[in-house]
Structure 1
Amino acid sequence: MKRKDIITRRKALAVSASALGALLLPGCSKTSPPTYGSLLRMGDALTYNAQRTLLPGQSLAKEYSFGEISSFPATGTINPADSSKEYYSEEYERLKSGLFANWRLSVEGSVTNAGQYSLQDLQRFASRTQITRHTCEEGWTAIGEWTGVPLSSVLEHAGILPGARFINFYSYDGWEDSIDMLDAFHPQTILAYGMNGKALSIPHGAPVRLRVEKQIGYKSMKYLQRIVVTDEFVDPGDTGWAWYVGI
């Protein structure tokens, strides 16, 4: 397939930016969240439209100095290899016992080059390190240093096809969620394999977790297993969480 048929970072951002003006048009759902029209999800539309209208699409989350790094609790799932828990994953336990040597991140869907990436594969991409504030939905915040590969680099390597609108994520602890292309190609959205100068720990999502610095903490999914590029989205609404929680 010719390169012009693949969505690059520049093209994805240009398309997203050109669509922002449509947010002011009554009844327009193209640039509204995919939950648009649901009375129970009105908060999604309000937050999404306010963020996309008032803030530049690629505005950066504040980054901090090394001296501002704080203690960082691990909440929610802390080990999918724990067989006593409801979120137990036999596959994750096997991978953990092998020190994740056989772990692979599957990237599939509307791409020209579907494939699987080992931890070493991801580390071969140019890395990004950022010190950012994690804002938890439970009300606490913490500052940590994250190192990983920009999600955009992996998506461009896979070759996103026209028509794709969302990036869906699946984890070993059973969580499913998604983000749109603007957040996917944001320079601070990374697949993190390091935290505070060390390899990512089990409680914080080893071997690789997502970091979406422009949204509330639960969008930064831990224990990544699979990424699907698609024109349909995964909605965590049945868990009680909003789809879009920009900050």
Structure 2
Amino acid sequence: MTLISRRSALVGAGGLLLAGCDRITASPTVRKVLTLGEKATLSGQRLVTGNALAPEFTRADMSPKFRVNGNSMPGSADYAAHMANGFTDWKLEVGGLVARPLTMSLAQLRSAPQRTQITRHDCVEGWSAIGEWTGVPLALILRHAGISSQAQYIVFHCADDFSGTPYYESIDMSEARHPQTILAHTMNRQPLSVAHGAPIRLRVERQLGYKHAKYVMKIEAVSSLNGIYGGKGGYWEDHSGYQWYAGI
């Protein structure tokens, strides 16, 4: 199947909060307060910025070293086999609330219309780096799959895990349709490395780094996040109290 032919102070404060959140957010009361704050942040940002773009930079601004966030090597045998043959047999699955479920190879993704952007990655751990990303706009893939009007969220199922618990993330349809939200296969004009998420990773440039899921294997359109793993929309949201909306 082919597609169409050819925060800065706030980030610091959030990082300090999240770094010590394991005990603090164990309280149901605190979790409720954090969720209320998340909703206010989401509503406020959407009201102020609408569909505005995240800042983009020039190649002269790019960081000499771009640190690795999260896992650097999935442990599954399936991923190891894909990596051994250069991801030639790898397929991206697109399903859920779509009219036309898709399976797409890396070659097909590379042959689709592309977007290149030089953006800053802000990690919740307190570091930032600027890099160049090339990939397929997620909105294009969803349109090609016939996304349903009932879909409210896009869930990204990944090849990596933490102690046997699969990694996943999710975004809402507003972010999914944003022009800077892409499935990147190229970083700094080179094929995406394994440590940085090969063969493809999500780039959702208006949110913190933990939302940029690596090793994406399947995209699922859903009407609700309830019942998907821990139900909070992502691995870190389920297990460490991170907010689902991580806007910057």
What's 1:49 paired with? 43
CA RMSD of aligned residues (A): 1.3
1:117: Cα distance to partner?
Answer: 0.8
Q: TM-score, normalised by structure 2?
A: 0.79
Verify: 1:101 aligned to 2:93, yes or no.
Answer: no
What's 1:119 paired with? 106
Q: TM-score, normalised by structure 1?
A: 0.79
Q: SS of the residue aligned with 1:175?
A: strand
1:16-68 deviations in whole A, cap 9, x for unaligned? xxxxxxxxxxxxxxxxxxxxx94452232121111112222x10000000111
Q: SS of the residue aligned with 2:186?
A: strand
Q: SS of the residue aligned with 1:133?
A: strand
What's 2:67 paired with? 73
What's 1:221 paired with? 213
1:124-170 deviations in whole A, cap 9, x for unaligned? 21100000000001000000000001000111110111211110111
Taking the aligned partners of 1:94 and 1:49, their CA distance within structure 2 comes to 43
Q: SS of the residue aligned with 1:190?
A: strand
C-alpha contact 1:204 1:222 (8 A) present in aligned 2: yes
C-alpha contact 1:125 1:153 (8 A) present in aligned 2: no
Amino acid at match of 2:35: R
Taking the aligned partners of 1:43 and 1:102, their CA distance within structure 2 comes to 43
Amino acid at match of 1:224: V
Verify: 1:60 aligned to 2:53, yes or no.
Answer: yes
Aligned length: 203
1:106: Cα distance to partner?
Answer: 0.4
C-alpha contact 1:147 1:195 (8 A) present in aligned 2: yes
C-alpha contact 1:171 1:224 (8 A) present in aligned 2: yes
C-alpha contact 2:184 2:201 (8 A) present in aligned 1: yes
Taking the aligned partners of 2:246 and 2:188, their CA distance within structure 1 comes to 25
Q: Out of 188, 195, 207, which is 1:203 matched to?
A: 195
Taking the aligned partners of 2:244 and 2:158, their CA distance within structure 1 comes to 17
1:199-220 deviations in whole A, cap 9, x for unaligned? 0001000000000001001111
Deviates more, 1:115-124 or 1:202-211: 115-124
5+ unaligned residues in a row in structure 1: which ranges?
Answer: 1-36, 81-87
Q: SS of the residue aligned with 1:172?
A: strand
What's 2:120 paired with? 133
Taking the aligned partners of 1:213 and 1:193, their CA distance within structure 2 comes to 15
1:75: Cα distance to partner?
Answer: 2.4
- Structure with greater proportional strand content: 2
Taking the aligned partners of 1:200 and 1:122, their CA distance within structure 2 comes to 13
Give the share of equivalent positions with the same residue, in percent.
44
